[in-house]
Amino acid sequence: MAKVKIKFACTECGTEAPKWLGKCPGCGAWNTMVEEKETVVKTQGISTSIIGMKEKPVPIIQIDNGHEPRIETTLGELNRVLGGGVVPGSLILVGGDPGIGKSTLLLQTSHALASQQLTVLYISGEESVRQTRLRADRLGALTDKLYVLCETNMELINDAIESVKPDFLVIDSIQTVYDPNVQSAPGSVSQVRECTAHFMRVAKIKGIATVLVGHVTKEGAIAGPRMLEHMVDCVLYFEGERHHSYRLLRAVKNRFGSTNEIGIFEMGEGGLREVSNPSELFLSERPLGVSGSTVVASMEGTRPVLVELQALVATTNFPSPRRMSTGIDHNRLVLIIAVLEKRMGMFLQTQDAYLNVAGGIKLDEPAVDLAAAVSIASSFRDAPTRPFDVIFGEIGLTGEVRAVSRAEQRVREAQKLGFKRVIMPKKSLKGWNPPSGIQIIGVETVSEALSAAFE
């Protein structure tokens, strides 16, 4: 006989507790613990219908090692993030803030695949089919191979999958889908977990590439249990500022490619347009001859990107100066300021320091240290650097400049955009020949870098 078990789960992060709590112990959110009923059925064993077909273990050397086939879309930036295209039978989870453009991106992707004579089923639980058609008219995404359904019942969605037999499936969003056999409301932890597990089995057994749209919490993480990110093959975050027209598609998990790639799109009236050269976009509004501004060559996956760093150092009237950073880790900023004070003799204890990555992009690699140090020193001295210099390198606590990876690609990107000089670690010059037409200055310490930047 089935036994009903009462538990409380957080709607933000999925943390479970045996009793109600005002504050979630997992994410710290208040009043997010809701009651859920879980039916526990005692069985003698696990049936093969739950785990799929019964298979025998085989030696790993007898398994076919053929490459996974990929379906390329017309969006090159999306192909780059996915590792070369959509893998049949893969399960992809896409998250992002409300109104950032998730549905627009997936509708354009669906049209691109349907134009290749692939059958696409777009299931929307938040919009009617008429609303989806209106957006498709605006995006120009009209084709007879694109099927649209407004449904949230998982059993009816299964019937539609059996009827259409799609090659590509979109569920927008997973929080709106519910299983009638689960006794909880749509969007609850149990419903999201069970529905995701069901679509994972459908994707693997039928070979349907499936994309799930997930809501995010106020902290920016995908809502629901963290187990969702472990179940899927790929987790993509669609990021961007409402005050900027471009969007960043970032992979934080990818079983079929790199997790460091980003795709850059620009939002317009006709939908999302891919940006093939992001460096020109981030440097389009860069002022020349202004103190505190430098250009850094950063690597986003396999792509070099030139970004402007802006620093502002101002005298403070408070005993404790402020240290604020946007786009760079705050602790990294504090470390760089400490190196400048100790090794370079800059008296920054009475100065507020602000560091910003222009354009809203986030840089998390240590190669931006040297450019950040030059920006801070430029603002502190009120002396601008040369407008056509590119700087990159990692800074150690003793003031040395350490080597970074892929220095050749960074230099060639700077040369392609017309920069005249590159200040970089001297140890990164080994093993390759610098291109002609651009001056390379190798430095070993922060002192040498500042001397070269302000000469």
Instruction: Report residue 240 as tokens.
Output: 């961007």
For 41, residues 6+ apart whose C-beta sits below 8 A from its C-beta are 2, 3
pLDDT of residue 55: 67
pLDDT of residue 2: 53
In this model, does residue 46 exceed pLDDT 60?
A: no
Write down the domain spans for the chain. Answer: 3-40, 71-276, 281-453
pLDDT of residue 220: 67
pLDDT of residue 258: 83
In this model, does residue 243 exceed pLDDT 70?
A: no
For 2, residues 6+ apart whose C-beta sits below 8 A from its C-beta are 39, 40, 41
258-262, 361-365, 368-372, 401-405: least confident range: 258-262
- According to the annotation, is 66 in a ligand binding site? no
CATH top-level class of 281-453: alpha beta
Instruction: Report residue 85 as tokens.
Output: 């295209």
- According to the annotation, is 64 in a ligand binding site? no
- Mean pLDDT of all residues belonging to the chain: 87
Q: Alpha carbon of 177 to those of 152, 184, 204, 250: distances in Å?
A: 4, 12, 19, 25
pLDDT of residue 149: 95
In this model, does residue 415 exceed pLDDT 70?
A: yes
- According to the annotation, is 173 in a ligand binding site? no
- According to the annotation, is 102 in a ligand binding site? yes
| Alpha carbon 454 to chain centroid, angstroms | 36
- What 3-state class would DSSP assign to 168? strand
Share above pLDDT 70 across residues of the chain, in percent, rounded to a whole number: 92
Measured CA to CA, the distance from residue 365 to residue 369 in angstroms comes to 9
Measured CA to CA, the distance from residue 338 to residue 171 in angstroms comes to 49
pLDDT of residue 92: 95
Contact 290/401 with Cβ under 8 angstroms?
no
25-29, 264-268, 315-319: least confident range: 25-29
- According to the annotation, is 186 in a ligand binding site? no
More confident residue, 83 or 185: 83
Instruction: Give domain 71-276's CATH number out of 3.40.50.150, 3.90.105.10, 3.30.200.20, 3.40.50.300.
Output: 3.40.50.300
Express each pLDDT in 198-240 by its tens digit.
999 999 999 999 999 998 876 667 766 677 888 999 999 998 7
pLDDT of residue 219: 67
pLDDT of residue 317: 87
Measured CA to CA, the distance from residue 369 to residue 363 in angstroms comes to 10
For 450, residues 6+ apart whose C-beta sits below 8 A from its C-beta are 344, 373, 374, 377
pLDDT of residue 48: 37
- According to the annotation, is 96 in a ligand binding site? yes
DSSP letter for 66, please: P
Query: Mean per-residue pLDDT for 422-427?
Result: 96
Contact 374/339 with Cβ under 8 angstroms?
no
In this model, does residue 455 exceed pLDDT 90?
A: no
Express each pLDDT in 312-363 by its tens digit.
999 998 889 999 999 999 999 999 999 999 999 999 999 999 999 987 788 9
- According to the annotation, is 382 in a ligand binding site? no
Query: Mean per-residue pLDDT for 47-76?
Result: 71
pLDDT of residue 41: 44
Express each pLDDT in 66-94 by its tens digit.
666 889 998 989 998 998 899 999 999 99
Contact 94/249 with Cβ under 8 angstroms?
no
- According to the annotation, is 69 in a ligand binding site? no
* Model confidence band, residue 259 (pLDDT cutoffs 50, 70, 90): confident
* Model confidence band, residue 54 (pLDDT cutoffs 50, 70, 90): low
* Model confidence band, residue 448 (pLDDT cutoffs 50, 70, 90): very high
More confident residue, 411 or 270: 411
Instruction: Report residue 33 as tokens.
Output: 């613990």
318-329 b/e with 16+ CB inside 10 Å = b? eeebebebebbe
